[in-house]
Amino acid sequence: MVSDIYQQRRIALLNQLPKNSLVLLAGYQQKVRSKNIKYHFRQDNNFFYLTGFGEPDAIALIVKAETTSFHLFLRPKDKVQEVNFGNRAGITGAIEHYNADHAYPVSGFTTQLLRLMEGVTSLYVCDENNRFSSDIVSWANHHRHSGSFDTPKQFVAIKQLAEVLHQHRLVKTEDEINNIRHAVKASTFAHKKVMQACCPDINERELSALFNFSVAKGGCSEVAYPNIVASGNNACCLHYEDNCCELKDGQMLLIDAGAEYQYYASDITRSYPVNGKFSDEQTAIYQIVLNALDRAIEIVKPGLSWNSINETCMKVMATGLKELGLLTGSIEHIMTTESYKRFTVHKTGHWLGMDVHDVGPYHDTAGNWRRLESGMVFTIEPGIYIPEDATDVPEVYRGMGIRIEDDVLVTDTGCENLSKAIPRTVDEIEAIMAETEV
Q: Which residues form the interface with ligand GLY (CB under 6 A)?
A: 225, 256, 267, 356, 381, 405
The closest of 110, 99, 104 to 51, measured between CA atoms, is 99
CA distance 272 to 290: 12
Cα 81 versus chain centre, distance: 32
Minimum distance from residue 341 beta carbon to ligand GLY (Å):
17
How far is it, in rounded angstroms, from Cα 45 to Cα 51?
A: 10
Q: Which of Mn ion, ligand GLY, none binds 44 (CB below 5-8 Å, type-dependent)?
A: none
Q: Does 233 engage in binding with Mn ion (CB under 5 A)? A: no
Decide if residue 44 touches Mn ion (CB under 5 A). no
**Least CB distance from residue 1 to ligand GLY, whole Å?**
35
| 229 or 321: CB nearest ligand GLY | 229
Nearer to Mn ion, 99 or 419 (CB): 419
Kindly indicate which of the ranges 3-11, 270-278, 359-367, 373-381 contains the residues binding Mn ion, using the contact rule CB under 5 A.
Answer: 373-381
Alpha helices in 27-161 (DSSP H): 45-51, 79-85, 90-98, 109-116, 136-146
391 to 410: interface string for Mn ion, x by CB under 5 A:
--------------x-----
Give the nearest distance from C-beta 133 to ligand GLY in angstroms.
Answer: 28
Shortest Å distance, C-beta 357 to ligand GLY? 6
Q: Which residue, 91 or 290, is less far from ligand GLY as judged by CB?
A: 290
If the CB atoms of residues 74 and 265 are measured against Mn ion, the closer one turns out to be: 265
Residue 127 or 381 having the CB closest to ligand GLY: 381
Q: Which helix (H) or strand (E) holds 65?
A: none
Q: In what helix (H) or strand (E) does residue 273 lie, and over which residues does it extend?
A: strand 268-273
Please give, one letter per residue, the 3-state secondary structure of 210-258.
Answer: HHHHHHHHCCCCEECCCCEEEEHHHHHCCCCCCCCCECCCCCEEEEEEC
Residue 407 binds what, of Mn ion, ligand GLY, none (CB under 5 to 8 Å, by partner type)?
Answer: none
- Cβ-based nearer residue to ligand GLY, 55 or 405: 405
260 binds, among ligand GLY, Mn ion, none (CB under 5 to 8 A by kind): none
Which residue lies nearer to Mn ion by CB, 267 or 355? 267
CB of 316 to ligand GLY, least distance (A): 19
**Among 176, 267, 358, 406, which residue sits at the site for Mn ion (rule: CB under 5 A)?**
267
Give the integer Cα–Cα distance in Å for 258 and 418.
Answer: 13
Least distance CB 367 / Mn ion (angstroms)? 24
CB of 88 to ligand GLY, least distance (A): 33
Residue 256 binds Mn ion (CB under 5 A): yes
Count of residues touching Mn ion (by CB under 5 A)? 4
Buried b / exposed e over 343-355, threshold 16 CB at 10 Å, is bbeeebbbbbbbb
Smaller CB separation from Mn ion, 120 or 207 = 207
> What is the residue-wise DSSP string for 170-203?
HBPPHHHHHHHHHHHHHHHHHHHHHHHH--TT-B
With respect to Mn ion, which residue has the nearer C-beta, 116 or 352? 352
Asked if residues 41 and 76 have their Cβ atoms less than 8 Å apart, the reply is no
Distance CA 289, CA 316 (A): 8
Q: Is 179 in the site for Mn ion (CB under 5 A)?
A: no
- Can residue 379 be called a binding residue for Mn ion (CB under 5 A)? yes
225 binds, among Mn ion, ligand GLY, none (CB under 5 to 8 A by kind): ligand GLY
Distance, CA of 153 to CA of 147 (rounded, Å): 8
| Chain centre distance of CA 204 | 23
Compute the distance between CA of residue 258 and CA of residue 266 in angstroms, rounded to an integer.
Answer: 5
CB of 350 to Mn ion, least distance (A): 6
Least distance CB 151 / ligand GLY (angstroms): 53
- With a CB cutoff of 8 Å and minimum separation 6, the contacts of 415 are 297, 300, 301, 408, 409
Taking the least distance from each CB to Mn ion, the nearer of 123 and 259 is 259
Task: Put residue 169 in one of left, alpha, beta given phi > 0 → left and psi -120 to 50 → alpha.
Answer: alpha
Nearest distance, CB of residue 194 and Mn ion, angstroms: 14
Q: Which residues bind Mn ion (CB under 5 A)?
A: 256, 267, 379, 405
